[in-house]
Chains A and B, each alone.
Chain A
Amino acid sequence: MRTLKVMNASTGSNTIALSVRNLVVNYADVHAVADISFDAKAGSVTAVIGPNGAGKTTALEVCSGVRQATSGTVSVLGLDPQSNRLEMNSRIGVMLQDGGVYPSGRVGEVLEHYCNLFGNRERADDLLEAVDLGSKRKATWRKLSGGEKQRLSLALALAARPEVAFLDEPTSGVDIVGRDLIRGIVRNLADSGCAVILATHELDEAQRVADHVVMFQRGRLIANSSLEDLCGDNQAVTLRTSSKIDLAALAMHMNCRVDQNKTELRLYANSDANFISRLSNWFAENKFVLDDLRSGTPRLEDIYRELINVSEQSK
């Protein structure tokens, strides 16, 4: 498979490509996005995660200029998505959730049109090959499978050879092979200096591709940090028990921080064999039940649950 050409060399990594400040979007009396601020850097993948209806799509639509904010500012490559729209559009690639292709449009034709719109920086043939749709050139959009639609939609965003790419749920409805392909493309994009902003509710997906994570919950941010800081070095042991545990005693005995999330306990410590053995001994001595135990890097999903709990409790 072809790797797409390296884009605009002037966009160095670590440059802030997207900056969102105090963004508020209201629909009638619903606060879809309530005072959100975050940045996305060139050369990295920023995953915007959160459950359905958390405000991810709305925020992405404002950033890509198709929706107006109620208040707050957005700057994409130093440009305002409303007042500098066309100039911004020529430098960004957008993949919307609903595809946005006429059902009778043919794959090759639609892609060629998008290449034309962006001044033919990419060749439609190369893009078709990159998303593995070379054999579907003559097929109409309505005849494509869900996964094929997603891949074509991604290719349309790539036609811009973007400096900033907004991808809304790019892997939803895509099979495993397609997911690997899309992840590869997303990684390549970022490696070539593009700031990729990817919205997804699939946390596993986010953990695989993201460098930075922005977590939404009911229109608010509950986390904004690098994936590494969020769960990387943060070694932990997670266990499940039906016994009533004295958290303070356990923390003191194991000499680490202990959090509880319903029936799950998490101990933040370097989870080597010695630690595990001391832990299981303590359980045995106290005749506590140990239903499940796992160690290593916590899953984004676990961290997400925890953060949601914290944010709900703080209300």
Chain B
Amino acid sequence: MNIFQALIRRELSMFFQGPTGFIIISAVLFLIGLGFLVVLYGLNGEATPMPVTQIFYETYFFWLILLLITPVITMRSFAMERASGTYESLMTAPIGDWQVVLSKFTGALLFYMILWAPLLACSIVVRFYVGESAVLGFGTMFTTSMGILMIGSLYVSIGCFASALTQNQAVAAVSSFAIGAALFFTGFFSYFSGDRTDFFSKLSRHISLSNHMESFTRGILDLGAIIFFLSLTSLFLYLTHKVVESRRWK
């Protein structure tokens, strides 16, 4: 456990020792602020049938942050260590491959959650001025955070996998963006397929990230969605572990 903590602390310190972490935080802060502004303009005295979190989520800023920022967070995790060679001293220390994979994943996920903290502040401001708990209950805020965590863990695990495959950070970022975008847009087809019951329509409905995410923002903890995100995250972590392990295959 001690080692795991040390590894995670090292992962997080990599963001904050240089400018990288702060640049990412500023970019996300800007996007969240802009998104929030759009929501507030839309509301501007009008009554709304849905929670504010859901409105925010339906602006494209949420997906922009998810699709664009997570590859930037995770592109360094393995690729940078490989390129600089520190990977070799890391992997010859008496620690297991799983410890390395999970610490890199957890470190990136923690940083990702830090990025979303300003959204919480925005929500509190709205709640304070509106004064109606129906608009933004604590329950909704909690489930929305859960949703952000769930979808984030999936995208961070994709990023770790892409980063483990290469020693070039740009390649890592582009390939994790490609996988993430493919997953997102495949789910998009469910909008067009309507109620059709052919295999592809069913599939696209099943992997539709926006459908899964929507229930979280409405204040519902959807067990199916949680299982969906957790199983895909585990799959990508497993693949990452296989890639890390592969250097020792005969």
Partners in one complex: no
State the B residues within 8 Å of A (CB): none
